Amino acid sequence: MSKRVLTARTLTTESGAPVADNQNSATAGVGGPLLLQDQHLLEKLARFNRERIPERVVHARGSGAYGHFEVTDDVTGYTCADFLNTIGKRTEVFVRFSTVADSLGGADAVRDPRGFAVKFYTEEGNYDLVGNNTPVFFIKDPIKFPDFIHSQKRDPFTGRQEPDNVWDFWAHSPEATHQVTWLMGDRGIPASYRHMNGYGSHTYQWTNAEGEAFFVKYHFKTNQGIRCLSTEQAQEIAGKDPNSHQTDLLQAIERGVHPSWTLYVQIMPAAEAADYRFNPFDVTKVWPHKDYPLQRVGRLVLDRNPDNVFAEVEQAAFSPNNFVPGIGPSPDKMLQGRLFAYADAHRYRLGVNHTKLAVNAPKAVPGGANNYGRDGFMASNPQGRHAKNYEPNSYDGPVETGRPLSAPLAVSGHTGTHEAPLHSKDDDFFQAGELYRLMSREEKQRLVANIAGGLSQVSRDDVIEKNLAHFHAADPDYGRRVEEAVRALRED
């Protein structure tokens, strides 16, 4: 046989051998049964069977894009984070948007919170800011999170989302009233990912060069303007194009219309947290802007689509415990729970070496993370034969800096399963009522109709009554109108 040289156009097997025929399987004679020795066929089928990984339990349906963040205002008095230390400084980012409750095959245009996760590829490592398009959340303790998500996902018996389950959980979770009011209001269904705000939702800590600590909340304000869909519009769009948000983001960037957001923060000196009228670490609450005004930080721009959605969007791994010097956690209990849960979800889905994937790898260090992690699925051993996998050592391996990322948090008292401390305005309904009273007459009408449409489908009267009590507690007019609307729908 003559020697053949493989070229860039030669189709090969996984082992690099040339493929003779990619159209016909090997058989025992013409028309005969297939042969087990057809390595190319078996390899293709086996690989195809394994092309999907476990989808995210929440935020499964997502879209993403690359871009940059540029500092526009001086915040060095509040944080020593390197990527925020100079006006005009740019940092590469990857942003993933998502719906929360439905599966990977769900529609984009649905009434659901939207995930808003930003990965900053800073010179001091990756900083992940994981939030939503709402400034609050349904619950304030992570021990309730699995139960909450179970109530919102498909029922084990019927295989569909059940109003009985959704509203029964909310009936027993009065702290959800604020977020339910957001979700059922006009901003519950964004017209696209480009036309919604993003929020860090949680409270984080910033630390400046002098070691002074501040608590902050992040607000990404869309520069495209807020645009939302009515329930009827969303149903029509979801039926015509279930991928409507993905399509919009992809096509906008491809035609050079680069979406952007202006980042603002609310800043609270750490000493003010204890006596603030709301618990500043309760993710079901906001900080009113009149108490802590928005301060501009910079501009986020998305200008490049991923080349491969699976490799770069599905395998993108965000974790709120990925901090950089100058930024750290707060005592926010939901944030504390997510510091573990997010990273562990990615270890389960992608493997312990998922941080070596291109979309997740830090750009601060050549070759990726510089530590003593070895082995596990997809280990590549880039350190070579002489590198050690322990520390300290005598072989010039990487060493600690001795510099904490953020200021220490003071703790006191006894261990135990404590409820969060109450502040002067800490009830579950005050801010929900404030939000309702900010709405126009038309906005209130749509809010009430959206709530009644779901609540009227609940089969148990006691569950309906518990939920109605929450709306009455938020605002008497709010409760009365929801009650009347539910009654009218149930009498039809």
Give the residue numbers marked as catalytic. Answer: 59, 132
Residue that is written with structure tokens 């984080």 in the block: 204
Q: Distance between CA atoms of 473 and 151, rounded to whole angstroms?
A: 23
Q: How many CB atoms lie within 10 A of CB 10?
A: 12
Amino acid at 127: Y
DSSP state of 289: T
Provide CB contacts within 8 A for 360, sequence distance 6+.
119, 126, 315, 316, 317, 354
Backbone angles phi, psi at 430, to 5 degrees: -55, -50
Q: Is 476 helix (H, G, I), strand (E, B) or coil?
A: helix
Distance CA 283, CA 275 (A): 17
Cα dihedral sign, 9-11-15-17: negative
Q: Work out the angle at residue 84's Cα, subtended by the Cα atoms of residues 80 and 86, and round it to the nearest 5 degrees.
A: 100
Which 8-state DSSP code applies to residue 210? T
CA 92 remoteness from chain centre = 18
Which class for 303: exposed (0-12), middle (13-18), buried (19 or more C-beta within 10 A)? middle
The C-alpha torsion from 303 through 97 and 278 to 217, rounded to 10°, is: -20
Residues 6 or more apart from 52 whose CB is under 8 A from it?
Answer: none
Do the Cβ atoms of 345 and 57 come closer than 8 Å?
Answer: yes
Strand runs labelled E in 32-135 = 62-71, 90-99, 114-122, 125-132
* Rounded CA separation 303/218 (Å): 22
Alpha helix ranges (H) inside 188-243: 231-240
Give the residues across from 121 on adjacent strands. Answer: 126
